[in-house]
Copies of this chain bind each other. A is one copy, B any other.
């Protein structure tokens, strides 16, 4: 469905939204550790997101990543667009490139319902929406091996 890079990106952004502020940025090593992701690979991903202004970063001592007010309102679909492109949401279920409303493939009408549904979901959900849903009983937290988990006890 979504590439590994894209899913890592979403996890990282939600984590940053939930754990950093401009006055208390979070470093890549800590993000990687908490989310159990390869540091350098994550670095590449955050680099892309920064370039597209989806997250904010500052170099040097006390540097790190955070989300400004605008970035927290970014929709998931934007992240997907940057990482994977939006082709998944416009492609035929049978991979036919001439499948369309006028000349639908035999799976088209049924498939479209869910493909469009996902597109709408990702287009209407913001980073903040997800970050705000994080609480103790949540898989997102359960997944953190160390710090955050403890910090909530």
A contact residues vs B (CB 8 Å cutoff) = 1-2, 4, 7-8, 10-11, 14, 88, 91-100, 102-108, 110-111, 113-114, 117-118, 121, 125, 129-131, 133-134, 137-140, 142-143
Residue among A99, A114, A121, A133 having the largest count of chain B Cβ atoms under 10 Å: A114
State the Cβ distance, A63 to closest chain B Cβ, in Å. Answer: 26
Q: How many copies does the complex hold?
A: 2
**Who on chain B is nearest to A124 by CB?**
B110
Could you write out 6 A-B pairs with CB less than 8 Å apart?
A96-B143, A98-B139, A103-B138, A106-B129, A108-B139, A111-B118
A139 near B10: Cβ-Cβ < 8 Å: no
The interface residues of chain B lying within 8 Å CB-to-CB of A91 are: 1
What residues on B are CB-neighbors of A104 within 8 Å? 138-139
The interface residues of chain B lying within 8 Å CB-to-CB of A107 are 125, 130
